[in-house]
Amino acid sequence: MNMTRTLLCYSLSLATLMVGALLLPSAADAQTASKPKLRMYLFDNGQINGLDPAEFNFKKEEIKSSDFIVVSELIVHPTKGILLWESGSVPDAKLPADGSAYHEGVTTVTKSLASQMQAIGYNYQDVKYFAMSHLHSDHSGNANALVHAKWIVQKADRDMMFAGKQQRVMDASLFSGLKNADTILLNNEDYDVFGDGSVRIISAPGHTPGHQVLLVNLASGPVLLAGDLYHLPEEITTGRTPTFEFDPATSAVSRARIQDLLKKTGAKLWIGHDKATHAALNFAPKFYE
């Protein structure tokens, strides 16, 4: 009898322990909850104001504004390194030391890219991967500061960059150091930057021969960094391209492919130069996860 009671008590205690164990979060749960996520910071690399709408094949009254913003993004993978997408329009060294704004033609820059990175704890040397949407000067301002990184580029853009021929909106002095960079050369193809599908370069030629965009699969939802696939949102509905488009017919194919991708993934479209898009976004030190 005593033995039975003892056993019963033991069984009840065990059952209580087990229920308790089920109610308490396990170590694995705690780990999932605090697991670092893919993070994206947005930087302000200046303004391009007073552009002629005719350069983009629009009349003034057809568009809301032809004033542009210039941005870049730092994507921090929890375990596999950091990607810098775009590099601003003006080398940091040109900015006045007293912190005042730098003006050059239609461009105004108030903050260096390096200072914005440092404010969130990063230096250029921390960047493992570097990619630009394309070769134009308003994207390659600080490319020479990233020559230590693995450079991800489409062969068609790289060929044009080092062909020794002057191109419109291109300044070869800004990216000369990339010539000898450790390079991941793509042949009009997509590329999984970290190998886990979290960040994908998508080939989208037309604006330049090797233009590309970036799909960032954040936990909060995917974002497509469109580079100069479009400049003005009005290009989406009208199908127009700028006067300096490398190959408008190819751009139309790329735009259709990306629109299809947006539908399939539900990704948000961030047009690189669109002020209205970026007016609603959070810049570093705030971030997206």
Q: What does the binding site for Zn ion look like in residue numbers (CB under 5 A)?
A: 138, 228
Q: How far is the CB of 140 from Zn ion (least distance, A)?
A: 10
Q: How far is the CB of 218 from Zn ion (least distance, A)?
A: 23
CB of 99 to Zn ion, least distance (A): 25
Question: Is the alpha carbon torsion for 274, 69, 214, 80 positive or negative?
Answer: negative
CA distances from 175 to 2, 110, 135, 138 (A): 86, 22, 9, 12
Q: Choose between 73 and 228: whose C-beta lies nearer to Zn ion.
A: 228
d(CA 276, CA 209): 27
- State the minimum distance, in angstroms, from the CB of residue 120 to Zn ion: 24
Nearer to Zn ion, 76 or 90 (CB): 90
User: End-to-end alpha-carbon separation of the chain, Å?
Assistant: 62
State which residue, 71 or 218, has the beta carbon closest to Zn ion.
Answer: 71
Nearer to Zn ion, 137 or 203 (CB): 137
Burial class (CB in 10 A: 0-12, 13-18, 19+), 49: middle
What is the nearest approach in angstroms of Zn ion to the Cβ of residue 272?
6
* Nearest Cα residue to 273 out of 173, 160, 156, 138: 138
